[in-house]
Amino acid sequence: MIEHPNYATEPWRVRETALDLDVLAQSESLFALSNGHIGWRGNLEEGDPYGLSGSYLNGVHELRPLPYAEAGYGYPEMDQVMVNVTNAKVIRLQVDDEPFDVRYGELHEHVRTLELRDGVLDRRLEWSTPSGRRVRVSSTRMVSLVQRSVAAIHYEVEALEDQVRIVIQSELVANEPPPPASGDPRVSAVLNDPWNCEYQASEGLRCELVHSTNISKLRVAAAMDHEIDGPATMSMHCESFEDLGRVTITATLEPGERLRVIKYVAYGWSAQRSKEALRDQVDAALDAACDVGWDGLRRQQREFLDDFWDRADIEIDGDDEIQQALRFSLFHVLCSVVRSERRGIPAKGLTGNGYDGHAFWDSETFVLSVLSYTMPEAVKQALQWRHDTLATAEERAANIGLSGAAFPWRTITGAECSAYWPAGTAAFHVGADIADAVLRYLHASGDDEFERGAGLDLLVATARLWRSLGHFDVLGGFRIDGVTGPDEYSAIVDNNIYTNLMAQQNLFAAAELAERHAERAGSLDVDDIEIAEWRRAGAAMVVPFDHVLGVHAQSERFTDHEVWDFEGTSEDEYPLLLHFPYFQLYRKQVVKQADLVLAMYLRSDAFSAELKARNFEYYERLTVRDSSLSACCQAVIAAEVGHLALAYDYLGEAALMDLRDLEHNTRDGLHMASLAGTWIALVAGLGGMRETDSRLSFAPRLPEGITRLSINLEFRGRRLRVERTRDATSYLLKSGDELEMLHFDEPFILTSGDATVFDSPDLTTETAGRAPSQPHARAPQHRVAPVVANNEEH
């Protein structure tokens, strides 16, 4: 997308300089706004045309039965599908009885800009009606990052050459027609007319609708109010129907005269509260928004983002495109979760209906990795959601004959939604991923209260699952058989290394926390015998190794399988899951996404430097990256073992996954894990950040093309800046108490306000010999940093 001539490369914005309807759906995803509770796709205010209309509330879904030709014991029975809620983005315009539609008349100018510092979407255009009447239209849209239930639009029409009669219709629309169905399993299911009207009202310039879903019985309220500024002779009226609320403004504008509408919107939803309670809730939220006003909302948004960028911004000299992509990524990662408040993080956030709006392990392993060091308070809320679903996970474990908690592979409410059990039920690593996120949050935040409470609950429940799922073999090794790891082209395998090593960490951590908080652990019926069993299982964990090849096997006997015929596979046959049966994939050496390589990042302590290099080379030849989760992990290990140019290539792929629509499904929403992966590839990859004994460690390296990398982050209440240039690395503690850190394994103490500088060797050249090869036609695009001349800030 960013290569499209209509898109500019600028450091603090994403700007589209002309409207191309062929990529309208993709641009709607790029220009989406969210706060983790409300999600608005970047649809045109006038409603038509659109690629995929989308207005979402996190957690709002409809149910549908899961179809089985042959059902089995323990199979999930119901699917959960994210559905559109009431669309409040619509502002229709008529000019002298001719409706504004970009496909008719003449569009002289059309510019849309996502402002990453201000958190708003600006639109500016000039249009002539088919009969030649010319107007200028401008709008600014926001979803508030401060007021959870509030969104707003500032909309203005100006007559340019002639007197014109203007009609503006500001609407609430429910039960919009869904998009056509798709054969791509990554695309959402389609549900027609999911909403029943329970209440509608209109008074003054305010409209309100309350609807409920047919099966899940969720109730949603949406309300809008307006401030209007225009000619004294303008007229206004308000009306409401079952699926429509409308405020109509009519005015005659002289050349140079303007009609301005500020539209305030509030949403609320509940599975339990009455329609009266929800109605009062959105009325209160709307009153609060109107009281603050448009300028106040803009000021709140900017202040919030100023604080976030002080915590999280990364500066890159030498590659303007990656600089823009990194800030775009951080902005959308923030927006996916900041006001979600104990709800899951869908794989595509609230930017589209891809993957039915389900949350996966992507949230904990990728998105929360970033937020742990940039906005830890949001991580706590996301983990509280997992804790809220703990009873459901425990019930699921009992249903399939296990102890502890079996968390779902894909879900909205906490119940498993995958009808394909080899990928769903068998992907038990999700529990260890949640435990890993808990540990990362605790290390990054020092939140003792969470550790004693929800953190301990989650670690104990997941440790119990591993002890129940695994067993000791005749040699005394602890085996975890018949599971599916992160690589979805391998299923029902024995001793998947990623699963086993993450489970090992889970078991040891649960034992440590249970001993540290013995009284609290006792309330969970944890005793010394169970703690000893966790430690025994962790110490005896089986880690497969192929002594002939001298590399770890991704799972037991994986390296004995026949290698996939990569040379015989054409480029247009990727992703393989859309062109070959899983039966063929499961029995071959072919890797969809980083699995063992991800384990080498997250459990770096379990591998020697030599084995990391050998493993990486071996699995590079097998990994086809049919998942957006892969490139950032490969970037991290490529950088660590010295293949900096390859790490840079993978960084580019992760960063541009959506901006260039690399997987051809950006139309259905942004890939939150890949967006988060941009930060991971930079900070953990080129920055070399790891945690060693609860201390932050950095080993920064720069590839050719990048001359400076400056990283801001937050750790245990302190704000840091780490900067790497060609010949030096500096560390600055911007605020907070002194901190012990490591620079290339050398410990030092960082004190507030003082910079610590190390002379660093120039590590921009390859240090590990020739870079490994990838499967035929699957090498990442080689990164040559494009420097854009006109990149001044605004």
> What span, in angstroms and rounded, lies between the C-alpha atoms of 401 and 334?
38
Query: Strands 562-563 and 588-589, how do they pair?
Result: parallel
Nearest to 539 by CA among 497, 486, 503, 514: 503
- Residue 125: both structure tokens together: 């255009």
> What span, in angstroms and rounded, lies between the C-alpha atoms of 530 and 454?
19
Sign of the CA dihedral with 18 first, then 24, 30, and 35 last: positive
Number of Cα atoms under 13 Å in the Cβ half of residue 102:
21
Size of the chain, expressed as the number of residues it contains: 794
C-beta pairs of 122-127 under 8 Å, 24+ apart in sequence: 123/45, 126/160, 127/100, 127/102
Nearest to 561 by CA among 529, 533, 586, 537: 586
Please give the C-alpha separations between residue 461 and each of 404, 554, 709, in angstroms, as whole numbers: 5, 26, 40
Query: Strands 164-173 and 150-159, how do they pair?
Result: unpaired
Concatenated DSSP letters for 676-740? HHHHHIIIIIIS--EEETTEEEE-----TT--EEEEEEEETTEEEEEEE-SSEEEEEEEESS-EE
Q: Which amino acid is at 494?
A: D
**Cα–chain-centroid distance for residue 350?**
9
Q: Which of 45, 176, 451, 488 is catalytic?
A: 488
Give me the torsion for CA of 514, 515, 520, 524, rounded to 10°. Answer: 40
Sign of the CA dihedral with 715 first, then 719, 720, and 721 last: positive
On whether the CB atoms of residues 622 and 634 are closer than 8 A, the answer is no
Concatenated DSSP letters for 356-418? GG-B-THIIIIIHHHHTTT-HHHHHHHHHHHHHTHHHHHHHHHHTT-SS----SSBSSSS---
How much helix, strand and coil, in percent to the nearest 5, is found in the chain? 30, 25, 40
Q: What is the 3-state secondary structure (H, E, C) of 610-640?
A: HHHHHHHHHHHCCECCCCCCCHHHHHHHHHH
740 labelled catalytic: no
Nearest to 356 by CA among 215, 187, 191, 577: 187
> What span, in angstroms and rounded, lies between the C-alpha atoms of 68 and 72?
9
On whether the CB atoms of residues 45 and 155 are closer than 8 A, the answer is yes
> What span, in angstroms and rounded, lies between the C-alpha atoms of 34 and 349?
8
C-beta pairs of 450-453 under 8 Å, 24+ apart in sequence: 450/380, 450/383, 451/513, 451/517, 452/517, 452/520, 453/520
Nearest to 212 by CA among 244, 240, 174, 266: 174
Widest CA span in the chain: 90
Q: Which residues, 6+ apart, have CB-to-CB distance to 713 below 8 Å?
A: 311, 312, 373, 374, 683, 719, 720, 722
Question: Which residues are tagged catalytic?
Answer: 488
